[in-house]
């Protein structure tokens, strides 16, 4: 183990729980431990009050009504409930789903199960900058299309899709729109009304809340009705059976409230650090390529490729000093090239030599400068050992 902890630049995988969030959660493990569904006594009432307070906090973050927020075990469940729940509810209209080639693996895997069950799925390609063209989405919509799923911001390359423009297309055709808002909510302004979405998925642990809790926004006006995918109880307006994770939900609400207060200042701060990181890397190294749009991008994301370097070897070389990843944590350990990078049309060198930097609230200028030093040294060492030429462009 290293003498000091590595610099953590993998905030897209998860974020540390804010101490203020932990403080609010603690009483609900021991003192206020009631089941929120126990409406017969004070312990249940106290838990239910806490859940409803958190529901309002999450709703305020995303511009929704509290009754439109359904708590889940995380974004994986929320995405599954949105897609399969919408298909089940609208089966008389058809069984066609349109999604995007760079979606999170969860969404793509759920769509694969839809196809295996006899439904139809169209996967729309992205442009070279990683964004989807609404015109392509419109062309993919057919008479039997019931749902379009387009993430707000990509979890690997950080690009922000034109979701509101896709919404205009969907509404004109009477098709529901779902967005995976996990990487965007809490980091950039996110408003379900402005985006025009019907369903949206979220996760607490991507915004300094606890793991194991998420939410699905389900529009009420005009009303969106979905079919629950877990049964056995009437929790969450009958849309998600199971005893509520009260401490986790309290933490989610607290994290959402804090994020809402910090967005205006934290976004520009980490964007400046992100730009400092890129400037440092391009000064120290040649053949550094930024993947994805530079303008339509999350403020805390930088995804770059280093020509002549194997990404896995680079991460291993950095492990004691800088915690980064090549892409989605859900696909870590896989030696398959990133489906996101492949969808961008990236060549083998770009795909295999890519790193994702995810900055966070605790990231400082000193961290960035130290990370540049470690990355530059590691890349230089690996390039000296590599038979692959240093091609590519800055």
251, 256, 257 from 260: Cα distances, Å: 14, 6, 5
Residue 311 and residue 354 in contact, taking contact as beta carbons nearer than 8 Å: yes
Quick one: angle between helices 246-284 and 42-62, nearest 10?
30
Residue 240 and residue 81 in contact, taking contact as beta carbons nearer than 8 Å: yes
Residue 158 and residue 303 in contact, taking contact as beta carbons nearer than 8 Å: yes
Question: Which listed residue (111, 170, 330, 378) is catalytic?
Answer: 330
d(CA 136, CA 140): 6
Residue 342 and residue 348 in contact, taking contact as beta carbons nearer than 8 Å: no
Beta strand 145-149 with 96-100: parallel, antiparallel or unpaired? parallel
Report how far Cα 319 is from the mean position of its chain's Cα atoms: 23
Q: Which residue has the tokens 């990236």?
A: 346
Query: Which residues, at least 6 apart from 97, have a Cβ–Cβ distance to it below 8 Å?
Result: 83, 87, 111, 114, 119, 120, 121, 122, 145, 146, 147, 148, 149
Write the burial class of residue 368 (CB in 10 Å: 0-12 exposed, 13-18 middle, 19+ buried): buried
d(CA 86, CA 382): 49
170 has catalytic annotation? no
Task: Tell me the catalytic residues.
Answer: 330
């Amino acid at each position: 183990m290293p003498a000091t902890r590595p610099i953590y630049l993998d905030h897209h995988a998860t974020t540390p729980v804010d101490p203020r969030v932990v403080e609010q959660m603690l009483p609900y493990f021991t003192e206020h431990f009631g089941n929120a569904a126990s409406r017969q006594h004070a312990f249940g009432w106290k838990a239910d009050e806490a859940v409803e307070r958190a529901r309002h906090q999450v709703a305020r973050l995303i511009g929704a009504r509290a009754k439109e927020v359904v708590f889940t075990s995380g974004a994986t469940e929320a995405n599954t409930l949105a897609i399969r729940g919408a298909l089940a509810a609208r089966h008389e209209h058809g069984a066609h789903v349109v999604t995007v080639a760079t979606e999170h693996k969860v969404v793509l895997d759920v769509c694969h199960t839809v196809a295996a069950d006899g439904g139809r799925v169209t996967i729309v390609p992205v442009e070279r900058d990683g964004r989807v063209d609404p015109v392509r989405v419109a062309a993919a919509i057919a008479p039997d299309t019931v749902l379009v799923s387009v993430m707000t911001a990509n979890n690997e390359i950080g690009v922000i899709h034109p979701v509101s423009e896709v919404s205009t297309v969907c509404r004109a055709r009477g098709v529901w729109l779902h967005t995976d808002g996990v990487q965007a909510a809490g980091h950039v302004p996110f408003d379900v009304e402005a985006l025009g979405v019907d369903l949206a998925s979220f996760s607490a642990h991507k915004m300094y809340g606890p793991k194991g809790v998420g939410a699905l926004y389900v529009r009420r006006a005009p009303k969106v009705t979905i079919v629950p995918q877990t049964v056995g109880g009437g929790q969450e307006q009958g849309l998600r059976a199971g005893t509520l994770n009260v401490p986790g939900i309290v933490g989610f609400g607290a994290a959402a409230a804090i994020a809402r207060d910090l967005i205006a200042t934290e976004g520009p701060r980490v964007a400046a650090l992100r730009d400092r990181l890129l400037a440092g890397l391009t000064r120290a190294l040649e053949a550094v390529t930024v993947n994805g749009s530079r303008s339509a991008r999350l403020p805390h994301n930088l995804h770059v490729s280093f020509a002549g370097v194997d990404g896995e070897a680079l991460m291993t070389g950095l492990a004691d000093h800088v915690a980064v990843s090549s892409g989605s944590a859900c696909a870590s350990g896989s030696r398959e090239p990133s489906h996101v990078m492949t969808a961008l049309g990236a060549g083998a060198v770009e795909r295999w030599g890519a790193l994702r930097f995810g900055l966070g609230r605790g990231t400082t200028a000193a961290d960035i400068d130290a990370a540049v030093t470690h990355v530059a040294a590691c890349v230089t060492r690996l390039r000296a050992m590599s038979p692959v030429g240093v091609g590519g462009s800055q």
